[in-house]
Amino acid sequence: MFPQVNTLFSEMEGKRPELGRHGLAVAHLSYEVATTVRVDVGSWEMEAAAMLHDNAKILWPADLSYKDRRDLSQRDREIISSHPEMGRRIVAVRWPQCPVNILRLIESHHDPRGWFPAQVLAVCYVWVACHEDRIYRRKAMPEKDVLQEMLRVAPAKVVNLVLNTVRHEAMCEATIGEHHAISF
């Protein structure tokens, strides 16, 4: 991993620890997907972009991340919709040699169009975001709603790919848990 990724990530995490947790969870999942199928970008590029994809949120007003969607002003909506582009610009300025794939992934994470690597990143961040504790969400999101959110950003075959990775990871964790239960 390039030191610039760690520097930018540490700054983000220092200011907003929850963005650090979110970035790492998305990085873990998207890296796993990128190692199981060919995604046309390096798995480390996918991981770096996932870690930094929301870095522009450190510039947001303190309460914006916690606002109910119904309370958002026009200005709030503009700030939210521009964070992928703003994030790309921040990384490009701070890391002039940043590989173009990383910049492109950050810029397109909310609007991947037909680019497969960005579709994978988008489905991964949606899955993670829907399973995180959010102050405005009182109970777990129903899985059918999670599925719908994922299908808004990418086609079904990409959603299935990410879900297969999630299931595989869960199975591995369950097996490790069982093994520990037997051993100890």
Residues that bind Fe ion (CB under 5 A): 54, 125
Nearer to Fe ion, 4 or 18 (CB): 18
CB 13 to Fe ion: min, Å: 14
CB 50 to Fe ion: min, Å: 9
Structure tokens at 77: 């909506």
Nearer to Fe ion, 47 or 54 (CB): 54
Are the C-beta atoms of 30 and 128 separated by less than 8 Å?
no
CB 109 to Fe ion: min, Å: 6
Comparing C-alpha atoms, which of 104, 141, 114 is closest to residue 126? 141
CB 23 to Fe ion: min, Å: 8
Nearer to Fe ion, 82 or 175 (CB): 82
Residues 6 or more apart in contact with residue 142 via CB below 8 angstroms:
none
CA–CA distance, 72 with 80 (Å, rounded to integer):
10
Nearer to Fe ion, 9 or 125 (CB): 125
Question: CA 109, 37, 95, 87: dihedral to nearest 10 degrees?
Answer: 10
The residue number whose beta carbon is nearest to Fe ion equals 125
Residues 6 or more apart in contact with residue 2 via CB below 8 angstroms:
48, 95
Nearer to Fe ion, 17 or 177 (CB): 17
CA–CA distance, 106 with 104 (Å, rounded to integer):
6
CA 112 centroid distance within chain? 13
CB 183 to Fe ion: min, Å: 37
